Chains A and B, each alone.
Chain A
Amino acid sequence: MIPKQAKQSVGQRFLARFRDAGAEEIAPDILLPAGDLLDLYGEDIRARAYVTQDPIRGEMMLRPDFTVPVVRAHMQNGADPARYCYLGEVFRKQDMGDTRPAAPRDNEYLQCGFELFTRDPQADAEVFALFHDALAPLSLTAQIGDMGLLLDAVRGLPLTQARAVALMHHIWRPGRFARLLARFSTPAVARDFPEPAAAWAGMRTEDEMIRRIARLQSDAAVPPLSRVWTERLDRLFTLRAPAPDALAALTDLARDMPAIAPAVTRIRARLDAIAARGIDLSAVIFDASHGRTTLEYYDGFTFSFVAGRAGWPPVASGGRYDALTRVLGRGREIPAVGGIIRPGLVAELETQA
């Protein structure tokens, strides 16, 4: 067992480093209004976050992560550009399945983070390089991805607007995405919509149902997506290679999938900017599906640093979340990228080294 003070002092070391990189330290609340978080993460967050009741403020949550309160604070009174850093606990329930794990994961642990709000195109490289250099002594594996690339690829498929939107909505849910894609790739079967005996009930209106039935009926006439496209999509989604090789493969793919060409150009510029900061790209793994199973708010560049130990979450992770600032900014938006380090895991690695 590593004492909490030791983890705290590892966190302070990273915090100092982030401060030296020009960040202003902030201390978001621990008790957060549940509404924002529920709206963003959905019901799943209730399984992971501690929910409590305040007689005046209503339902509150013990901070499950920092991004939401940091974005909220910035959207209320931050200037642009802005760099923030923080160190503090997050709280996550570990609801196990049928069997209690022998070594349950911590339900309260430290995160030390850095968030950058700016329109500077170098921002992704700046944040990645900062984390890369701070973690360099630990010999972790760096993995990167780009959700924008995947969204552009789906948007560019020869599909109806409705089908493309449905696929994009489920891009973070690989199983549901695969089922939808399979359905769109086979000839549609005309469906019966039997008349029920019962009268209308509930808040969903009959008009909503009639519109959906009309959409389903017109969708049944849409020809299936040809196999060549599902194969291209598969090639893209399973691409995982050292960054320079991945870039070559992406350039190749973009000839067949012109819709991803702008994203590939963006990725090339980002990699160049990372290399210009002295980082060896051949040691960085580009995984096209990186970020598909992580938090839903990352919509561009994503990164993580992993120790390769069974059952461990990444030692550090982050990404770009422009859309989140739009959701929380109520009309305002600002490009944003950032990430967190888990000082507790770093302390464990350093103790065992």
Chain B
Amino acid sequence: MIRLGVPSKGRLMEQTFDWFADRGVRLSRAGSDREYAGRVEGVDGMSLVLLSAGEIPRELAAGRIELGVTGTDLVREKLAGWSSDLVELAPMGFGHADLILAVPDCWRDCATLDDFAAIARDFRAEHGFRLRIATKYHRLVRAWLATHEVADYQLVDSQGATEGTVANLTAEAIADITSSGETLRANNLRILDEAPILRSQATLFANRAAMGPAMAALTARLGLHGGG
């Protein structure tokens, strides 16, 4: 039996159900809205598990589910060496979001990452501590800044309401996921004029160890090309 993990609520769940429906597989919640069991019609040998979106990468890597729908951002942030454990079967065309670095809009002198690096150096000299970037994407942001050789900063953990940290004086900049940029603008933040740290979208992943005849039959049924 191939177990498919899907986010347990919201638009991500509905869009996932639509994506499978387009391919002739009907997914639904069993019973009431409060129940996390699922039903699968139109294909044999697959069961549905409804999970919190944030847990899907870990469950996939651990092999407790064979297939899972989650954002590329979560997989890359939470699983070091992710492609040793997971196969990216198909980008699903929704749930688009960019991981970006944003600064206060009032910083007229900060357009690019080069400006940001220079400001970080000045800030450290002026304030005696490193400029703080609030984020929950520690690994991705740190790796990206290391690649671009930005040094004089520190990350501070923010698991929610990250856009508010600058106004609250607990950070000088933020790195977060955004799709429309509206929340950023509402909080007087501006995205740096650079390519995003990561472009993410909802993606169907498989556990690499679960790639076999059963999985091949299922991906063929869904019209996918087997995956890597």
Query: Could you list which residues of chain A lie within 8 angstroms of chain B, going by C-beta atoms?
Result: 38, 42-44, 46-47, 95-101, 166, 169-170, 173-176, 179, 193-204, 206, 208-209, 212-213, 216
Contacts and interface: CB of A to CB of B under 8 A. Distances in A.
Contacts of B146: 44, 47
A228 B76 CA distance: 45
Contacts of B26: none
A202 B104 contact: yes
Nearest to A93: B80
Contacts, number: 108
Interface in B129-155: 130-131, 138-139, 142-143, 145-146, 148-155
B114 A179 contact: yes
B225 interface: no
Interface stretch (B120-128, B199-207, B210-218): B120-128
20 contacts: A42-B152, A43-B145, A44-B142, A47-B146, A97-B143, A98-B76, A99-B81, A174-B149, A176-B148, A176-B150, A194-B108, A200-B104, A201-B167, A202-B106, A203-B172, A204-B123, A206-B106, A209-B107, A212-B109, A216-B109
Given A209-B107, A212-B109, 15 more contacts: A42-B151, A43-B130, A43-B142, A95-B80, A97-B81, A99-B81, A99-B83, A176-B117, A193-B109, A198-B104, A199-B188, A201-B104, A209-B108, A213-B109, A216-B109
Interface residues of B, number: 44
B188 A43 contact: no
B169 A46 contact: no
Binding site of A, secondary structure by majority: helix, strand, loop or mixed?
loop
A213 B108 contact: yes
Interface in B66-95: 76, 80-85
B12 interface: no
Nearest to A173: B149
Contacts of B59: none
Contacts of A195: 108
